[in-house]
Amino acid sequence: MGLKPLNAILVATGLVLVSLNLALASYATGQVPAVVEEAVAMKVKDDICENTLCTEVSDDWTESTSQRDFYAWHITNVDDVILNNSDPQYERIGPVTYDVTLKKEVDNYDIKNGLLSYKQLTSYSCSEDTLVPCSTEVSQLNIAFTPQVVGATGTAINAVMDITKTGFVSGVLDIHLKQVTAAQAVADEIMYEHMENLVLVEGPGSMYIIDTDMYNSAESYFLEGMFEAFNDAYGDAFLDDDTKTYLGEGGVDPRWVDGVWNDDGDGILEPDEEWYYNETGVRVGDLNENGIIDNETSSFVSTLNLDYAFYDAVGPDGENLSLVNYMGPLVYAAMGEPDSLEYIQENPEDSVTLERAELWDFAHPTDLNVTLARDWTLYGGMGALKLEYGAGNDDYLTDYSEDDVNLSVRVERLFGIDLDDEVAADVLTMGDGTDDPMGILAVSESGTSFGLSEFLEMDKDTAISTYGITGNQHQVLKDFCSDWMDNIATLPLILVGGEGYISASQFVNQTFGSINPIDDSYMEYSLNIGGMWGTGTYGFPESDPIDLTQEQSAEMLYGDWGLTTAKGASMFLYGELSGKTLPINYTTEEYADAREWTNETVAEIYGIDVEAAGAAKLLMMEVVFKNFVPDFLIDSFGTSKYLTQSVNNWLLGWHDPVNAYLDTGDSENMTAGWTSLEANETFFGSAAYVEGGISTGDPSTITICTGEVDSCDKGETVQVGDSEYVSWRNMSKQQKTYGLITAELQGETTGGF
């Protein structure tokens, strides 16, 4: 059926209009980019500037306020999480609404390059329209805590090693004041009160107290007297029965003059005959009084060289063990009580009596009883002398009523300076058992800080006023202590049954990777983890103890990737947390593919065995990172892994005691250590401590593209501050993370058109 005329006209008209619309649409669409481009060509600049050179700016741009909503995840069971390590339960809090005010000021307009720089200050205030109060408290993870643990791990290990070193030196000084001073007094008495006086009554013939014709000597005479005293005191000192004597209990005489006579053939042992004529022509020397020159040649051959023991004894590593040197009495007593005859016969290789007989050359050639008697004489006799000079007083720092050897006497013997007893007490014990130890031997209540460190860091004038000493006395004390801290002085290990010498730093290295040579124990913060490694208990593997050389331990602690350094500790923790090595060659530090983080990898990096590498991983992660450092930060600075605070604090500012300590050395300094999530004008709450509040920093300078040149996109932020890179991904961070965090240009991360 055909169309009616009106309808046909409408259809035709419609077709014409459609055709026209298509043509117009194509034309209009093609013109839009140009129109928009023209409209917005200067929009960025026009929104800011009131004139061409931007010497005047828009009030709306200068200051503007808008609302922003925040939401927080609140841990509802935070106490249970902290105490029992339970899984956190979360509750969403919000919206918390803030009015955010931006204050801007043009800093520079570079019309040639189409760049405009301005300073921006941001401030937040709780909005009247907020549905949830800004003061609402939320419990959340302390975002600063884990980074602080990572950053503090190398420092913490270094601090532990420093404490170990200082503790060693402090212990050595204690031994010197208690034992060495007594041994020095014994050696001085033997030399200056006995030997020097006895040689004056020593000579050939019976007219002398010490008849050298009978091969007596000052040394044998002294030891015979020492044995008599020991014999009488033996029961009281060693058997708790003062009625008993050494000889009465079956001991024998030590025979300090001992040897054999060589006969000249006449069957009579007599002294050698020496004939000569005196100044009057009378022939003298007929010792056997037979009236003839019969050339007697009998002679005495001693089996005992006491000169060696008294003046020439040397230890296996060259130690001067002569009895007139302090090391002689000190080492002799340190080796312990003599063995029984039965023990010597059954265990000659382990006998301390035979070891001493060899060191001081007093062994009898055939009779062990005589050797044992000589050992008892020296051990008991010199032990008694040492006790008289204060070696047995464990409380010598506070009580010397038993031996009457006060601190003034001990200080004079060791340091050669004259201090009143009260002054000596201050120098040695000031602050002992407190949080602020100051004396050379003082230790904090926690056992983690030493007055020795404080003393060595103190300048002369402060030391003079603190302890009441003179400048010269301070220098003498400081030099003596510094020699030990600087590894100039060393401890002879023969004192503890070992060999060689050990310095303070060597002690640190030794105990980190192996056994403590002083008492055969294992340090808690070491690869043997207090002796737990290798026991097969509490999750520790069953294996032999770790036994690194001092050199290997030194490399692990202080080498290129030393665990005491931020570089080494961070690298190690990265491997533990990521399961991968850094993407570098650990020798050249050039780029290389990352590898799996395994015991074998750690062993290769540090040049140690696989077992030691496993111990290092356990120490670093489980002992230090998860427990020691967090506990140390919490106990020392009052920080926490979790924080409960208002939303205001969470967003705009809270005081972090660790940061305060790092900034000022005082964790309670409320004028430092503030941090926040948002960059408010001041840290929230800081106005209570500093008038007007503590600034979060200078206003940031932002540089944007105005679009007047085509080298950047309109409105694009091309720079913040002095860097063209975003602050958290700059070239420095790229280099320090070996490319794991790549640098990002500011202009490539912000929008523009």
The boundaries of the domain holding residue 20 are: 5-40
Tell me if 452 is assigned to some domain.
no
CB 305 within 8 A of CB 361: yes
Q: Determine the pLDDT at residue 448.
A: 85
- 288-321, pLDDT tens digit by residue? 566 656 555 566 678 899 999 999 999 999 999 9
Tell me if 172 is assigned to some domain.
no
Residues 529 and 623 occupy one common structural domain: yes
pLDDT(273) > 60: no
Query: Nearest-CA neighbor of 100 among 121, 119, 122?
Result: 122
| Contacts with 324 (C-beta within 8 Å, 6 or more apart), sequence order | 187, 190, 191, 195, 310, 311
Tell me if 731 is assigned to some domain.
no
Tell me if 399 is assigned to some domain.
no
Under DSSP, the state recorded for 496 is: G
pLDDT(706) > 70: yes
Residues 701 and 684 occupy one common structural domain: yes
Residues 32 and 131 occupy one common structural domain: no
Tell me if 505 is assigned to some domain.
no
**Distance between CA 396 and CA 12 in Å, rounded?**
123
CB 732 within 8 A of CB 722: no
> What is each CA distance from 270 to 260, 276, 296, 724, in whole angstroms?
12, 18, 8, 107
Residues 615 and 699 occupy one common structural domain: no
Q: Determine the pLDDT at residue 721.
A: 80
Q: Following DSSP, what letter does each residue of 164-212 receive, concatenated?
A: HHHHHHHHHHHHIIIIIHHHHHHHHIIIIIIIHHHGGGEESSTTSSEEG
Tell me if 507 is assigned to some domain.
no
Q: What element of type H or E holds 96?
A: strand 90-110
Tell me if 352 is assigned to some domain.
no
CB 496 within 8 A of CB 519: yes
Tell me if 478 is assigned to some domain.
no
Residues 700 and 586 occupy one common structural domain: no
Q: How many other CB atoms sit within 10 Å of the CB of residue 36?
A: 11
pLDDT(552) > 70: yes
Residues 126 and 90 occupy one common structural domain: yes
Three-state DSSP state, 49:
strand
Q: Determine the pLDDT at residue 27.
A: 45
**329 preceded by a cis bond (ω within 30 of 0):** no
User: How would residue 23 be classed by pLDDT, with cut points 50, 70 and 90?
Assistant: very low
Q: What element of type H or E holds 224?
A: helix 218-238
Residues 26 and 62 occupy one common structural domain: no
Mean pLDDT, the chain, integer: 89
Q: In this predicted model, which residue has the larger pLDDT, 742 or 583?
A: 583
Residues 78 and 112 occupy one common structural domain: yes
CB 584 within 8 A of CB 738: yes
| Contacts with 382 (C-beta within 8 Å, 6 or more apart), sequence order | 186, 323, 329, 332, 333
pLDDT(17) > 60: no
Q: In this predicted model, which residue has the larger pLDDT, 320 or 748?
A: 320
**Distance between CA 12 and CA 19 in Å, rounded?**
11
Q: Determine the pLDDT at residue 35.
A: 44
- In single-letter form, the type of residue at position 416 comes to G
Residues 70 and 33 occupy one common structural domain: no
- 426-454, pLDDT tens digit by residue? 999 999 999 899 999 999 988 889 999 99
What's the structural domain count of the chain? 3
Residues 542 and 590 occupy one common structural domain: yes
Residues 521 and 633 occupy one common structural domain: yes
Residues 620 and 674 occupy one common structural domain: no
Q: At what angle do helices 407-415 and 471-485 cross, to 10 degrees?
A: 70
Residue that is written with structure tokens 């609404």 in the block: 97
